[in-house]
């Protein structure tokens, strides 16, 4: 084992203690009213599309994030799909997406019949780089009466999806500025950033719409679930309508006025969400403590940077992440091997989306930063409960 490897393992040991036998990357924690709310669903028989918890969960999400409205749906992919449709994305359009993201970001574009168009990230946020974006669009795109046109493909570029990687907010101020200049609707993929703010404003609420995820690995979970956030009441109404089969209210008639989706979150899952939301402030506090512990350790270790919240941002530190100062797939994989072998579940970042077979032929900008990040990022165990194991 070389110095970097032994230092890395020692740092994990010091922050987390010895695994016995295994410390997962991110585990949910159910220490609140989860059982009570689930049992109440069963007692009331309201487990499905009708019930108080969906309304309550949506109201509490709106309150917590400061969004005017939140619409609870089955998962983050579904939320992004509908948000893109409401932004006006139509089949054959292109949508700008970071190459460095989970596959769902691109899949939601594909589910609209649209084409992901990959753009680069920046080192400081791990998210879309506004300056690189501006330079790129200046070169390849043109604002026309039909919208922003990709001069190389002649297709319309219909929207952009900044994604707040591992909970760290994108440089939203400059990004929104570029998007506005190019008349691009912004749909924030805040799947990973519940609790993260950009200059005091919650991520997911600065664009036309944003989305959240409550998958089992997220900071709070509903089993599976997601939400659309928006400050536009008309968009919220449309989102609710489209995600609930577009049925018009009537005492008994079934009349649906649009192709709709069955994307509503069941009341059972919303019940879990209500209980989890009550725990969220505590989770955030613990996760920030854990991040601080990691940061304190890794600042002593040469060759490794701990990724901290961007300036003027509060990160939820969903997944704590280190970056190798010398990008190298070989070194990265050696560190992953020794950590996982020792029982610390660590993970690389995602394979860049333009390398996946179904997205190989999609348009893309130069991706020098994303390509470096791909072989230098490692996610560390990040469950809130790990804080109780923090060494003095």
Binding site for a second copy (CB under 8 A): 27-30, 34-35, 38-39, 42, 45-50, 74-78, 91, 102-104, 107, 110-111, 113, 215-217, 221-224, 245-247, 251-262, 264-269, 272, 336, 340, 346-348, 350-351, 356-358
Residue 220 Cβ, how far from a second copy at the closest point, in Å?
A: 11
The sheet with strand 377-379 has its strands ordered as 304-306, 321-324, 377-379, 347-348
The residue among 177 and 256 lying less far from a second copy, judged by its C-beta, is 256
The residue among 6 and 262 lying less far from a second copy, judged by its C-beta, is 262
Residue 322 Cβ, how far from a second copy at the closest point, in Å?
A: 15
Residue 373 Cβ, how far from a second copy at the closest point, in Å?
A: 14
Residue 78 Cβ, how far from a second copy at the closest point, in Å?
A: 7
Write the CA distances from 74 to 79, 213, 219, 284, integer angstroms.
8, 9, 16, 23
The residue among 53 and 182 lying less far from a second copy, judged by its C-beta, is 53
CA distance 2 to 4: 6
Residue 377 Cβ, how far from a second copy at the closest point, in Å?
A: 12
Write the CA distances from 148 to 61, 209, 305, integer angstroms.
33, 19, 38
The residue among 193 and 269 lying less far from a second copy, judged by its C-beta, is 269
Residue 368 Cβ, how far from a second copy at the closest point, in Å?
A: 21
The residue among 58 and 182 lying less far from a second copy, judged by its C-beta, is 58
Which pair of tokens denotes residue 268? 């059972």
The residue among 259 and 392 lying less far from a second copy, judged by its C-beta, is 259
* Strand duo 313-314 + 377-379: pairing: unpaired
* DSSP-derived secondary structure for 13-82: HHHH---SS-B-S------SSHHHHHHHHHHHT--SSSSHHHHHHHHHHHHHHT-SEEEEES-HHHHHHH
């Amino acid at each position: 084992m070389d110095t970097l490897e032994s230092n890395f393992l020692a740092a994990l040991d010091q922050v987390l203690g010895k695994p016995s036998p295994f410390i997962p990357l991110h585990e949910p924690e159910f220490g609140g009213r989860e059982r009570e709310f689930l049992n109440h669903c069963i007692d009331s028989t309201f487990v499905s599309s009708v019930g108080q918890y969906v309304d309550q969960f949506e109201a509490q999400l709106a309150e917590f994030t400061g969004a005017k409205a939140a619409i609870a749906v089955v998962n983050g992919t579904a939320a992004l799909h509908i948000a893109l449709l409401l932004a006006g994305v139509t089949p054959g359009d292109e949508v700008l997406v970071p190459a460095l993201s989970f596959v769902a970001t691109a899949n939601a574009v594909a589910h609209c019949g649209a084409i992901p168009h990959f753009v680069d990230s920046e080192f400081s946020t791990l998210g879309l780089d506004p300056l690189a974006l501006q330079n790129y669009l200046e070169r390849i795109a043109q604002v026309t009466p039909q919208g922003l046109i990709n001069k190389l493909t002649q297709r319309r570029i219909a929207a952009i999806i900044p994604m707040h990687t591992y909970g760290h907010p994108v440089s939203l101020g400059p990004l929104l500025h570029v998007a506005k200049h190019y008349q691009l609707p912004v749909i924030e993929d805040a799947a990973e950033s519940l609790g993260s703010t950009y200059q005091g404003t919650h991520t997911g609420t600065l664009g036309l719409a944003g989305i959240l995820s409550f998958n089992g690995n997220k900071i709070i979970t509903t089993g599976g679930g997601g939400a659309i956030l928006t400050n536009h009441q008309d968009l919220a109404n449309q989102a609710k309508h489209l995600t609930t089969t577009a049925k018009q209210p009537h005492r008994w008639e079934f009349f649906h006025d649009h192709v709709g989706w069955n994307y509503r979150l069941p009341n059972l899952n919303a019940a879990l969400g209500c209980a989890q939301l009550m725990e969220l402030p505590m989770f955030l506090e613990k996760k920030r403590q854990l991040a601080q512990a990691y940061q304190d350790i890794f600042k002593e270790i040469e060759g490794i940077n701990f990724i901290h919240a961007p300036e003027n941002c509060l990160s939820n530190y969903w997944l704590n992440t280190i970056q190798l100062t010398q990008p190298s797939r070989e070194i990265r994989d050696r560190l992953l091997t020794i950590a996982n072998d020792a029982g610390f579940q660590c993970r690389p970042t995602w394979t860049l989306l333009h390398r996946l077979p179904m997205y190989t032929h999609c348009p893309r900008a130069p991706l020098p930063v994303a390509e470096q990040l791909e072989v230098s990022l490692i996610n560390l165990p990040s469950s809130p409960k790990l804080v109780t194991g923090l060494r003095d």
